[in-house]
Structure 1
Amino acid sequence: MAGIYIHIPFCKQACFYCDFHFSTSLKKKEEMISSLIKEIEIRKNELGNTVIETIYFGGGTPSVLNTEEIQELINSVYANFEVVENPEITLEANPDDLSEKKIIELAKSPINRLSIGVQSFFEKDLKLMNRAHNSEEAKKSLSVATHYFDNISVDLIYGIPDCTNEEWRKNIQTALSFGIPHISSYALTVEPKTALDTLIKKGKIKNVDDEKAAKQFHILTEELNKAGFVHYELSNFGKEGFFSQNNSSYWLGKSYLGIGPSAHSFNGKERSWNVRNNTKYIKSIQQNQLPIERETLSKTDGYNEYIMTGLRTVWGVSLAKIKTDFGEKYITYLENQSKKYIQQELLYIDNEILKTTKKGKFLSDGIASDLFMLN
């Protein structure tokens, strides 16, 4: 089984924290859609005979597309790949795009999962991040969407300057009040060369506080645990039966095909990524050329990626898999490197699976990097 990710590189406006690839000009939208369809056709044999089980529209802001454009892209996937009977088909959407009319149209389409970028229900937070929607639009979109979709995920951001722990609890409770079965939540991160980075350096916005972010992460895990959510990946929480199949496939090392500018792909042995430029992407595809770079993973690359993804998830890192897939050298290295974290109660071994403890979960990326094998 494999997945297809389709990158829609357009947004109405730029969020201050974002470093994903997008354009705020929609002038090339029609050309882009034609190019995405053409890339799907060009790459139809790239996954061999693997069946597609997930289709994911990410971005950017995929909800800037109308339902006819979304349907065209889905039709192209079906025309070029074998797809399971009931695939998970996710659309990332912003609340300001989700009018009742749009939600009803989407509900009639093959889209069966919405990932709604709320980020916060507080106006001051939304303004600080330069989000395109307001708090009322966020609540209204969820109120309507839950009448038409069972499978909805909400994005929330913690560690926002001036967002108190009490306000953060209220954000979580507001999201839960709509009965949604999945929450993805991320710490506000200051990426280099973003507007947020510039505003912090100029003193116009407070810098993020790592201690506060860690505290709010623990509040998040406590509140969602009480609400019956499973913390199945560092940033993802779902009710049973509502884990993201698309995201889970990344963490479990399944193959996926990334379509569109800046999109990444993985086939088990090789990673590839498209050019991060709309004009160059369209021009190359129109000339029947893939604007792509490829990298073959070494054994050490594969080990490091498995450590990184495994420690982020509820499934952990299988010591038996390390030994079988990578060999004695790697299992010995991992056992030695992990000893100090086990002593510090940040890692533990359960039934030959290495996992993070509750205390270690927030630090999993840093711990993983220390377990990496250096070439």
Structure 2
Amino acid sequence: MSESCPDHACGQASEEPLSLYVHVPFCRRRCSYCDFFLVTRLDHIEAFFNALAVETLAAAPLLRGRRVKAVHIGGGTPSLVPVRLLAGWLDLVASLCMFTSDVEIALEANPEDLGGNSMAELQAAGINRLSLGVQSFLPRKLSALGRRHTAEEASVITAEALNRFAAVSVDLICGVPGETLPEWLVDLQAARSLVVPHISVYMLSVEPKTILERSIAKGRVRVPEEAVQASMYAAAIDTLGSSGYQHYEVSNFALSGHHSRYNLACWMREPYLGFGPSAHSFMRDDGSERRRANAGTLMRYLDNPRECVAFEEILSEEDRFVEQVFLTLRINLGLDVEFLRKHNKLGLNLSTAVEDFLARGWIVIENDQIFLTGKGFLFADHIAGEFISG
């Protein structure tokens, strides 16, 4: 992979760095809890990357002159596609823009895809961060989630990834059907003992129209009560916090210097371009801000990747305010009280809401900045909603 584009392609680098996301929508099968856009027809992979190249070239005017600091390849399961296709797309992007010297290029991967020489091939292609969809190190939980890898593979592949890559993240899910708090503590300890530098903790969410939702409706499975899930989340905060992990976002914990650069850029409302079906983008241009989303259908994307945008809007001042409140609370950077008062019409109602959340132990105020507590993270969206209502 080339590190930068030729001068005639890049021109003058923009001051604001850009992040990129590509949605690779292929999976061998759909997990019961998943509601992401994906397809299980793997015979379209080559056609998809051809279309991806067309869409990327069409975005050349947005890429030229930009420094790219982060690339996130998600899905789907991008680790199941041939590495040469990933490398080809990265080379194409590098010919159109300029990667920073410390660019973070992350790939979402399942443990069962990373045997043999695959990690070395990914490194050669330019991947320098792996986000492993481990979900659990316990056989029973993996079976309940319908995961293809074994508990042994989860541990072995994670350990090997840590030996090869400076940046590794592991996804863990709590609240799996039948799960107990002691089981969850074993999972946390397994990740902690491996010294995984970044851990994403997700409480199992029962999304509409998923296999899991139908199974629950038919009485086939039961998930832990909300109070149990809350205790698991609190256990993650305590366990990982005591081991030096920074709880820098609702679902994410990192040792110093190991936060996800792409995800943090999105939460901090920095510009990013998305490629592939269902991918989202956020861009600034001459003082305006706009968001857009590609259509979540593979066939439409393959037919015309140049014209695949399904939604686009220019953000109003109110939209920006709402996003700022929600996202600042999500990453707990400190929400300025005067900013809240200035941009909404709550008046005394704002003071009442703040006092209520303080009394509940959901927030603290330091230097006129509002921060969520560990307990408050559970109610981040509710708190944000109260701050912007009216």
Q: Shorter-chain-normalised TM-score: which range?
A: over 0.9
Give the whole-Å Cα distance in 1 for the aligned partners of 2:40 and 2:302. Answer: 16
Match of 2:214 in 1: 198
Match of 1:261, SS state, is coil
Per-residue CA deviations over 1:223-253 (Å, capped at 9, x if unaligned) read 1011110000010000011111111101111
Match of 2:297 in 1: 277
What stretches of structure 1 move > 6 A for 4+ residues in a row? 330-333
Contact 1:281/1:291 (<8 A) preserved: no
Match of 2:313 among 295, 310, 321: 295
TM-score, length-normalised on structure 1?
Answer: 0.94
The structural deviation recorded for 1:290 is: 3.4
Q: Give the direction of change, closer, same or farther, for the CA distance of 1:322–1:267 in structure 2 (3 Å limit).
A: farther
Match of 1:55 in 2: 71
* Structure 2 spans left out of the alignment, 5+ residues: 1-16
1:1-375 correspondence to structure 2 within 5 Å: 1-46=17-62, 49-268=65-284, 269-285=289-305, 288-319=306-337, 321=339, 327=343, 329=345, 334-335=350-351, 337-374=353-390
Contact 1:119/1:156 (<8 A) preserved: yes
Match of 2:307, SS state, is coil
Per-residue CA deviations over 1:152-196 (Å, capped at 9, x if unaligned) read 000000111211111111101111222210001110000000000
**Aligned-partner residue type, residue 297 of structure 1:** L
Match of 2:10 in 1: none
Give the whole-Å Cα distance in 2 for the aligned partners of 1:76 and 1:214. Answer: 45
Give the whole-Å Cα distance in 1 for the aligned partners of 2:280 and 2:228. Answer: 32
Give the whole-Å Cα distance in 1 for the aligned partners of 2:268 and 2:346. Answer: 19
Contact 2:179/2:224 (<8 A) preserved: no
The structural deviation recorded for 1:328 is: 6.5
Match of 1:293, SS state, is strand
Q: Give the direction of change, closer, same or farther, for the CA distance of 1:172–1:217 in structure 2 (3 Å limit).
A: same
Q: Give the direction of change, closer, same or farther, for the CA distance of 1:281–1:126 in structure 2 (3 Å limit).
A: same
Q: Give the direction of change, closer, same or farther, for the CA distance of 1:335–1:27 in structure 2 (3 Å limit).
A: farther
Match of 2:7 in 1: none
Contact 2:112/2:153 (<8 A) preserved: yes
Contact 2:63/2:96 (<8 A) preserved: no
Give the whole-Å Cα distance in 2 for the aligned partners of 1:336 and 1:2. Answer: 39
- Once the two structures are overlaid, the 10-residue window that deviates more, 80-89 or 179-188, is 80-89
Match of 1:46, SS state, is helix
Give the whole-Å Cα distance in 1 for the aligned partners of 2:61 and 2:348. Answer: 39
The structural deviation recorded for 1:281 is: 0.9
Match of 1:16, SS state, is coil
Q: Give the direction of change, closer, same or farther, for the CA distance of 1:334–1:49 in structure 2 (3 Å limit).
A: farther
Give the whole-Å Cα distance in 1 for the aligned partners of 2:336 and 2:105. Answer: 30
Q: Give the direction of change, closer, same or farther, for the CA distance of 1:169–1:294 in structure 2 (3 Å limit).
A: same
Give the superposed CA RMSD: 1.9
Give the whole-Å Cα distance in 2 for the aligned partners of 1:328 and 1:276. Answer: 34
Contact 2:321/2:343 (<8 A) preserved: no
The structural deviation recorded for 1:9 is: 0.2
* Structure 1 spans left out of the alignment, 5+ residues: none
**Aligned-partner residue type, residue 275 of structure 2:** I
Per-residue CA deviations over 1:2-26 (Å, capped at 9, x if unaligned) read 2000000001111100000001111
Match of 1:185, SS state, is strand
**Aligned-partner residue type, residue 283 of structure 1:** D
Give the whole-Å Cα distance in 1 for the aligned partners of 2:63 and 2:182. Answer: 48
Contact 2:32/2:146 (<8 A) preserved: yes
- Once the two structures are overlaid, the 10-residue window that deviates more, 26-35 or 328-337, is 328-337
Give the whole-Å Cα distance in 1 for the aligned partners of 2:161 and 2:389. Answer: 46
Match of 2:12 in 1: none
Per-residue CA deviations over 1:32-60 (Å, capped at 9, x if unaligned) read 01111211111122367442110000100
